[in-house]
Chain A
Amino acid sequence: MADTSLRTDLRKVDLSAIRDELRRLWASEALRDEAVMRARTHNLVVYTDVRRHHVDDIVQFIIEITSARPGRVILIHCDLEAEDRVEGWVTVYCQQQNQAQVCGEMVVFDVGGRLGDEIHSTVVSLLAPDLPVYLWWMQRPEPDDHLFETLSAEAARLIVDSDFFPAPRHDFPALADLDAPPLVDLAWGKLAPWRDAVAQFWEIPELREHLPCVQGMEIRYHADRLLTGDTRALLLVGWMADRLGWEFLHAERSPEGGYGTRWMIAGCEAGIDVLPAAGVEGDLPPGEIASIQITVGEEPPFSTSRIEFIPQRHWLSIALHGEPTEAAMRGYTFHPVDARRALAEELVSGYDSLYPKALRQVAAVFRSLNRS
């Protein structure tokens, strides 16, 4: 098990002395307990404009997330309504995982007022050379924002988490139109085991031949009290639509929350519904998918299969009913992916080019809803 005791004490430092302070911190760590930073694989630049009293939580969250991936993190906290100011802090931290020690370093800028536009050159000067830059924009990125524009020019990837977009109907189309570095969505990363499950489902030989002619689907997701949390399920639909060549027709808001969407699949119109799950037990966060029901067949009687996550058992159950298959139950161990794991995966994996294609499909759904 990893030792999660992290040294996260931030030291306030003059901006011009950040590099020296980092060097000094590493040297003192080395004298103390041989905690020498032996590897660095990336720069992670994080932007947030949350209220100031939340910054400590964000620092801790990012250190926990990145402690398994050695690199330099630069966190920029901007408060546009505050008076003009720039303050800097630095810290180094190490995590012991069995025999391996993974170390990271973080620079935090607390920026007030108009100086947010001026901080980019300081940030760029502190990037570790010759390593990729990941820019994690914790809000919806605004293309006209000067800081976003300058930092994204340095970035190899732009990371967002669409689970936290406040207005998906507008945010997704805007994201799809964004002229930015290759886009990474942590919500997409959280969806990975479900994409695996759906792909795996079609490995069942007697179902494979029906893959081109899906008759309908119903995806249930965990919703919060406001019935939000539907966008990850829509991304799953967008991914299937892109991979299987479905043509989007139209969409409407469902009275119970979620959406009903219509697609042209193999020359036939099919309904794909994205709906909140009713009475789901467990403490899963909003957005997590609960079940997928898939109806296939050339002609009636159709076969309906159900993939369902049972949180108490960490189990994904697959039930096949009726023609062309006889009733059968299958399943395997299933672990949902959280933001921490999604980001950790992102920092070591190659770019997933399927995401922008799925995003375009989801944007089309929202544009249709916005028109109606």
Chain B
Amino acid sequence: MRPVALTMGDPAGIGGEITLMTWRDHRRNLPAFVTFDDPDRLTRLAETTGITCRVQAINELSDAESVCPNALPVIPLSKTVNSLPGDDSTADGAMVIESIDRAIDAAADGSAAGMATNPIQKSRLYEAGFSSPGHTEYLGKRAGLSAPPIMLLAGPHLKVVPVTIHLSLKDAIAALTGDEIVRTLKTTIASMQTDFGIDRPRVAVSGLNPHAGESGHMGDEEIEIIRPAIEEASSADAELFGPLAGDTMFHAAARETYDVAVCMYHDQALIPMKTLDFDNGVNVSVGLPFVRTSPDHGTAYNIAGKAVANPVSLVSAIRMAAEIAHCRARTQDMDRGD
């Protein structure tokens, strides 16, 4: 079976230790995985944090499956990585980017089932030539997409897609066009079908304004932009409804009426996600030709190196990457009529 490829993430953050912990505590219940990192750094990190984890350098992704039960398989990066946990003074930006690039290559050429990325600190990468606002946009660029992939957050209680993500609220409102909402809805529907195996997904769409604008009393984006976009994206393959009030669409009974919620801006999507599924939310990049997931948290410098970080979101990300890859393969088989 093809492994899930992990990236190093910011070496001053918690990515290294949650990778070690994932191997130590969860490898028996996970598909094989491999990380693109500096094996010596990980060995040192295992020693200083006291996380029992054997690290083994490998050359080929195909070796990962046989190595993973006995040691954490690591494909070495071209240079050493010297950052220490919690200390962001060393610029290892080039290696952070190399790790992402090589995982993309592996996921794209099919030698990996997909990729799961550890968190990065974008501002630390800009000096190394990284010019995207985040992982997701960078992956879209690398995949040659004209528009960035869509971010789906998935947890045990909720799947949610923000139409706009990492923009100031003012810019987010400006970016909220009918075309963008339609694209997001269509991509989300396609992902529910191919990535999650839901034939006729039910999609709940939020409004932008409080109470979804209350018939235009509190903003007109619902009437002018969102409702027409929902109509345009409607098809027999899916059940779309909205615009709904952001504050009432997430309670337990409401969540039972849909498979995925599409929200207009970051906080509207992320607040319910973090509230309901803080520990095990997974970020899935939807609309890419390859599978990419990531844990739904940041670099957490403040606790890095202390072995107190919770690896469960990374564990969920690895599992979900493998499940989506499996689901995609099955869909492709069906499309070929096998």
Whether both chains belong to one complex is answered with: no
